[in-house]
Structure 1
Amino acid sequence: MTAKAARPRAVLIAGPTASGKSALALALAERVGGVVINADSMQVYRDLRVLSARPTLAEEARAPHRLYGHVDGGDAYSVARWLEDAAAALAEAERAGGLPIVTGGTGLYFKALTQGLSPIPPIPEAVRARVRGLDLDALGLHARLMAVDPETAARLRPSDTQRLMRALEVFEATGRPLAQWQQVPAEAPALAAESTLRLFLATDRAALRARIAERFHAMMAEGALDEARALLARGLPADRPLLKAHGMPWFARHLAGEITLAAAIEGAILDTRHYAKRQDTWFRHQLEGWTALPKEQAGAWLERAVG
């Protein structure tokens, strides 16, 4: 694609955490006059710039960045809200003549963007509060969901409390299991997949594990623990998604005097490695039609494809 008319409507760059997505997106944005749009569910929050690996202020100054740090950590941000925000950011970029470059590691964001969302009605706040207030641990939530929506429960890990509560909220609010809603045809997507250039960063597992550890230690040097301390000092409800950011549960235990800092760092790195593996598996099975390349080949491929 060398002619301007053949340029894709947007470039989508996905991959596991620490795979180099942000750097690749920024380099492309600088070269073609693009706008980097965040598709990471933790980087939308303003509280944890370092721990969520948001672009630095210097990086943001090199090209326009959208949907980074625009949500308060006390909010329970959703895929539906991100989709609305992303559609607005895409429209803004197109009006300005910039190429939208959507990058991040939250697969559901990309899926919603290119395939649409099931038309699940909004959840009333009273229902949300009732479900979030259940006196149940993760296994209890999973058992409760299994009783009313076994199909969804079978797909979720018993420790995934956020998605378990979301599925229970949908059932409580609508009387229908989430699995049934997900079978309803989705609304038209904000971006037709065929109008985009879609790249998945394939990674060597051993190299990625090393990179995750290296990056986490760099985060520590940049003040990640102080960020965690400040967030915990806000006294947010325990169900806020940002409190589940990589490292936060471990830092909370350390700051409460339960474990050493070394143990917290080790646990956070291990959790991040497990998450990266799940991301890789999810992307490979859920997003068809994407080109998978290692980072070393991705830049040249984008240059040829975008023009």
Structure 2
Amino acid sequence: MSVSADSSRTAAGLIRNATLIAGPTASGKSALALRLARANGALIVNADSMQVYDVLRVVTARPGEADLGQAPHRLYGHVAPTIAFSTGSWLRDVAALAARDGERPLIFVGGTGLYFRALVEGFAEMPTIPPHIRDRWRYKLHEEGPDKLHRILRAEDPKMAAALRPGDGQRIVRALEVLETSGRSISEWQADSRPALIDRASASFQVIEPDRAVLVERINRRFDRMVEEGALDEVAALLALDPDPAVPAMKAIGVRELGEVLADRMPLADAIERAKIATRQYARRQSTWFRNQFGPEWQRISGFE
């Protein structure tokens, strides 16, 4: 699990000798990254979609001052929580970081599987579909069937229609909702994809698979500590910005629950318990995603304190 001191770019511009550390929340991945960075002088790069946001340091379990003092950290807390930050935006930030600091070893650590996939495979950024558009096309699919929607797509986007089977309802709906939202064919969005940034041949891939009972205990202890360290104040500061309820930062675990406490609609003890349950459920989903989506190049490790 060492990190090479040679982290130069390949001729194709890919990042060589990167270390990727994934794992569910509270699994000890940040501690592992910090240990490796101290030993090898590496930069730790955030690969968690919630830890990019400012204001929510405690709620999203961003590294604290003690950790920041032991190794350089990048792409943590650099985005206003009122912004809908995307995977494509993160990739652009990573590319800029690698161009600036790419001679140092880079350790990518986090719990967002899509970030890791985008690093290794590239990513086609798509527009955010408004709920009313998504719901309408799904209703049409249910009521009218895929053949009717395929005829609509053929009239509006013949190139994409020719690439889809008339019975492939889900992909037809996706093409129609992207077209309506953006005015561009989904094929254009796919052609404008961002390339992979990591040289797979020289990278180290590690995913933490912690003992379930230990992980539950760590999650429970950590959220108690978050409340002690000012999570309520952070949520109050976020809500004072009056963000759009749809922005990702509003979906951070603990925001809704502690927001109910601040609004005098829920006792603190109930909010803490609900947040712990939500965190455990999220960790389970993360573990399932990593188990099903990560290939054999990923080394499975048990976790670290």
Which TM-score band (shorter chain)?
0.7 to 0.9
What 5-or-longer segments of structure 2 have no aligned partner? 9-15, 143-148, 150-167
The answer to whether the Cα contact below 8 Å between 2:6 and 2:17 also exists between their aligned partners in 1 is no
Once residues 70 and 270 of structure 2 are traced to their aligned partners in structure 1, the CA distance between those partners, rounded to angstroms, is 37
CA spacing shift, 1:26–1:214, aligned 2, 3 Å: same
> 1:58 Cα deviation (Å)?
2.1
The answer to whether the Cα contact below 8 Å between 2:7 and 2:106 also exists between their aligned partners in 1 is no
Match status 1:47 vs 2:46? no
CA spacing shift, 1:185–1:243, aligned 2, 3 Å: closer
Q: Which residue type is aligned with residue 11 of structure 1? A: T
Correspondence for 1:161: none
SS at match of 1:295: coil
The answer to whether the Cα contact below 8 Å between 1:115 and 1:186 also exists between their aligned partners in 2 is no
Match status 1:30 vs 2:38? yes
> 1:168 Cα deviation (Å)?
4.7
Once residues 104 and 145 of structure 1 are traced to their aligned partners in structure 2, the CA distance between those partners, rounded to angstroms, is 38
Q: Which residue type is aligned with residue 151 of structure 1? A: Q
The answer to whether the Cα contact below 8 Å between 2:7 and 2:18 also exists between their aligned partners in 1 is no
Q: Which residue type is aligned with residue 79 of structure 1? A: T
Correspondence for 1:275: 282
Correspondence for 1:160: none
Q: Which sits farther off after the overlay, 3-12 or 222-231?
A: 3-12
CA spacing shift, 1:2–1:192, aligned 2, 3 Å: closer
* Larger Cα-atom Rg: 2
Once residues 119 and 254 of structure 1 are traced to their aligned partners in structure 2, the CA distance between those partners, rounded to angstroms, is 36
Match status 1:131 vs 2:107? no
> 1:293 Cα deviation (Å)?
0.8
SS at match of 1:228: helix
Once residues 146 and 275 of structure 1 are traced to their aligned partners in structure 2, the CA distance between those partners, rounded to angstroms, is 30
Match status 1:112 vs 2:112? no
Q: Deviations over 1:207-235 (max 9, x none)?
A: 11111001000111100011111111111
CA spacing shift, 1:277–1:6, aligned 2, 3 Å: same
> 1:284 Cα deviation (Å)?
1.1
Instruction: Give the alignment partner of residue 299 of structure 2, picking from 267, 274, 291.
Output: 291
The answer to whether the Cα contact below 8 Å between 2:122 and 2:195 also exists between their aligned partners in 1 is yes
Q: Deviations over 1:38-89 (max 9, x none)?
A: 0000100111000000001221121111000110111100000000111222
> 1:146 Cα deviation (Å)?
6.0
> 1:183 Cα deviation (Å)?
7.8
Report % sequence identity: 40
Alignment of 1:4-15 (within 5 A): 9-15=17-23
Correspondence for 2:250: 243
Instruction: Give the alignment partner of residue 193 of structure 1, picking from 179, 193, 200.
Output: 200
CA spacing shift, 1:270–1:73, aligned 2, 3 Å: same
Q: Which residue type is aligned with residue 78 of structure 2? A: H
Correspondence for 2:210: 203
Q: Which residue type is aligned with residue 266 of structure 2? A: I
The answer to whether the Cα contact below 8 Å between 2:7 and 2:17 also exists between their aligned partners in 1 is no
CA spacing shift, 1:170–1:30, aligned 2, 3 Å: farther
Aligned residues: 271
Instruction: Give the alignment partner of residue 238 of structure 2, picking from 210, 231, 235.
Output: 231
Normalising to structure 2: TM-score of the pair?
Answer: 0.78
Root-mean-square deviation over aligned CA pairs: 3.2
Q: Which sits farther off after the overlay, 85-94 or 256-265?
A: 85-94
Once residues 250 and 142 of structure 1 are traced to their aligned partners in structure 2, the CA distance between those partners, rounded to angstroms, is 32
The answer to whether the Cα contact below 8 Å between 1:35 and 1:99 also exists between their aligned partners in 2 is yes
CA spacing shift, 1:168–1:100, aligned 2, 3 Å: same
Normalising to structure 1: TM-score of the pair?
Answer: 0.78
CA spacing shift, 1:270–1:3, aligned 2, 3 Å: closer
CA spacing shift, 1:73–1:186, aligned 2, 3 Å: closer
Correspondence for 1:254: 261
Q: Which sits farther off after the overlay, 185-194 or 205-214?
A: 185-194
Correspondence for 1:65: 73
Instruction: Give the alignment partner of residue 182 of structure 2, picking from 161, 173, 180.
Output: 173
Q: Which residue type is aligned with residue 236 of structure 2? A: R
Instruction: Give the alignment partner of residue 83 of structure 1, picking from 80, 91, 97.
Output: 91
Once residues 172 and 249 of structure 2 are traced to their aligned partners in structure 1, the CA distance between those partners, rounded to angstroms, is 23
> 1:237 Cα deviation (Å)?
1.0
Once residues 271 and 65 of structure 2 are traced to their aligned partners in structure 1, the CA distance between those partners, rounded to angstroms, is 27
The answer to whether the Cα contact below 8 Å between 2:34 and 2:44 also exists between their aligned partners in 1 is yes
